Structure 1
Amino acid sequence: MHIEAIKLKNFKSFRDTEMRDIPGYCVVVGANGTGKSTLFDVFGFLKDCLTFNVRQALQGRGGFSEVISRGADENALIEIEIKFRMEIASIDRLVTYIVKIGQQANKPIIAREILRYKRGRYGSPFHFLDFSEGGGYAITNEEDFDKPDEDLEREEQTIGKDVLAIKGLGQFERFKAANAFRQLIENWHVSDFHINLARGSKDAVGYDEHLSITGDNLQLVARNIHENHPDVFEKIITVMKQRVPGISEIKPVPTQDGRLLLSFQDGAFTDPFIDKYVSDGTIKMFAYVILLYDPEPHPLLCVEEPENQLYPKLLTELAEEFRAYANRGGQVFVSSHSPDFLNAVELDEVFWLVKKEGYTQILRARDDEQLAAYMAEGDQMGYLWKQGFFEGVDPQ
């Protein structure tokens, strides 16, 4: 499943903008304050809406008044539209999910929630899920494509006005597209990695299936992969040897008091180093490699400014690993300020954000004739970024 377009209305600085034809590996650049974190927070917001409800997701961001765009009409709605491609009944289909959020008696409500796609080659997309203010329907036999529209079976439902319909209906396999989109949201990963949380010994018992958002369970995940997926762990070590000079071995090591730490072996020394004494860059690169070679990979990764704590040479290596993850079927969104990182990306992979009259607009590198011409002549994206060739942005 692959996200192809995102359209936002009245979501913080995104008054009315759209990203189209999104590649599997998408790099977003822009000056501070242009909305890179806000763009990634769209994914976090939807995940919070699904995990909790819309009211709590908004509360965690300061409430409805802080999320809706400044200057929006008093009756305006927060609107998020995501188009993603998935296989349904052996046919690759473009599915659209729309959610519109407003207020009623000063309480947030879901004014409209729609999931639709075309049943056939022609005609308008059909609404397989359609809810308004806590009530609506979902089609239970959506894969019966031989039946005319009027013979499809609608299941009427009543839910809380601040609860996503896909939260409940997405649990059931018979709601094919809703189930798939719910799983996509539940399993995407928006990274907020912290070196200080990833270091040091950890309790040997805890969540170890996937790397957490902050990376505070790095040792546990490494042990899980080491013990249960030794071939994957060997691949991770091979990648680290190739990407980080000097690394010859990494092992999760239990301590005498029942905790867990990481041991890094530098080929130039006889004794290994525990992670407390290993460089920030090495720890962070290992965490990213763990994330990228997860035995059950996330369908979508969002990573902000991966260049922090990493030596410039490692940024090219990391950019290549992100692209390889996308080529294996995942999707990656990365934001960056680093010319060194951008020098390793391609023209089709880059979008940039600018603010005009207080609102964010999304531009694409390949649509800029000057950037496209320079790249065709062999220039690198990072040098063009640093020299100010991105319209409306001065990173210097």
Structure 2
Amino acid sequence: NALRQTIESWHVSDFHISAARGAKEAIGEYEHLSASGDNLQQVARNLFENHPATYQKILDAMRDSVPGVSEITTQDTVDGRLVLQFGNGIFKDPFIDRFVSDGTLKMFAYLVLLHDPKPHPFLCVEEPENQLYPRLLPGLAEEFRDYAARGGQVMVSTHSPDFLNATEVEEVFWLEKGENGFSRVCRAQNDEQIVDYMSDGDKMGYLWKQGLFGKADPQ
């Protein structure tokens, strides 16, 4: 039973901007962000109303990551739906999520996911670098690391050297296609050359671009 509950608590994030953007029904799943992010508004409202300290951490991280963002709130529409509003210190009225950038919305969604009051024991994220400015990736990598430090396990797939540059040698694995249709999992920590380069101050993304990840050559 414990094993079943653990597996049922795994979460695979395949966030879609189109699914998360726009007005949503006010009633729905609000405790955990869905795989596509289509209940972002409900989850944000739940955090704001029931977990204010957690929501403040999310808001502080957004202010540090995205210039101009001062407040993020939810608003009921006249037809009983729910929209996200992004406040900017320059303008009097906030912008609804339909008018904010894909990267802003996606960064907020990841922070909501990673600050879940009841975190998933195993979290998988597919290519988080999509739609995000490269300078946001080191901070996002640190958020993933903090999530793991709080007790969850995180697996992130990426093709971004900028994201890899924010990782440590013991955190990186890659896959190599083998014979007979099987793939081999390789660990960066087991490669003495990579370990030596990292000890000298190099970064994982640069080493990958230089072709040091075996058959996982970016060229």
Partner SS state of residue 245, structure 1? coil
Partners of 2:101 and 2:197 in 1: how far apart? 37
Q: After the TM superposition, which residues 239-278 of structure 1 pair with which residues of structure 2 at under 5 Å, given as runs?
A: 239-278=61-100
Aligned twin of 2:133: 311
1:267 Cα offset (Å): 2.1
Distance (Å, rounded) in 2 between the aligned partners of 1:322 and 1:244:
18
Unpaired runs of at least 5, structure 2: none
CA distance in 1: counterparts of 2:81 and 2:71, whole angstroms: 20
Equivalent runs, 1:81-92 vs 2, <5 Å: none
Q: Find the residue that maps to 2:123 and give its secondary structure.
A: strand
Task: Give the residue type in structure 2 aligned to 1:387.
Answer: Q
Q: Deviations over 1:268-295 (max 9, x none)?
A: 3222110001110111110000001111
Q: Deviations over 1:275-322 (max 9, x none)?
A: 001110111110000001111111111001000111100111100100
1:201 matches 2:23 = yes
More strand by share: 1
Q: TM-score, normalised by structure 1?
A: 0.54
Q: 1:334 aligns with which of 156, 167, 170?
A: 156
> TM-score with structure 2 length normalisation?
0.97
Q: Is 2:217 the partner of 1:394?
A: yes
Distance in 2 of aligned mates of 1:195 and 1:359: 33
Cα displacement (A) at 1:245 = 1.8
Partner of 1:381: 204
User: Map of 1:1-396 to 2, 5 A cutoff?
Assistant: 170=1, 179=2, 181-357=3-179, 358-396=181-219
Aligned residues: 218
Describe the SS at the equivalent of 2:71.
Answer: strand
Letter matched to residue 204 of structure 1 = A
Displacement after TM superposition at 1:187 (Å): 1.1
Q: Which amino acid aligns with 2:202?
A: D
Take 1:225 and 1:250, find their aligned partners in 2: how far apart are those partners? 12
Task: List 4+ stretches of structure 1 deviating above 4 A.
Answer: none
One-letter identity of the residue aligned with 2:173? F
Q: Offset at 1:337?
A: 0.4
Rounded to whole Å, the distance in 2 between the matches of 1:359 and 1:300 is 24
Cα distance, 1:330 vs. partner?
1.2
Indicate the percent of aligned positions where both proteins have the same amino acid.
65
Helix, strand or coil for the counterpart of 1:334?
strand
SS in 2 for 1:284: helix
Amino acid at match of 1:246: G
Any idea what SS the aligned residue of 1:265 has? strand
Q: Distance in 2 between matches of 1:353 and 1:345?
A: 17
- Listed as ranges, the gaps of 5+ residues in structure 1 are 1-169, 171-178
Following superposition, the deviation at residue 371 of structure 1 comes to: 0.7
Write the distance in 2 (CA, Å) between the matches of 1:384 and 1:189.
Answer: 30
Q: Deviations over 1:104-142 (max 9, x none)?
A: xxxxxxxxxxxxxxxxxxxxxxxxxxxxxxxxxxxxxxx
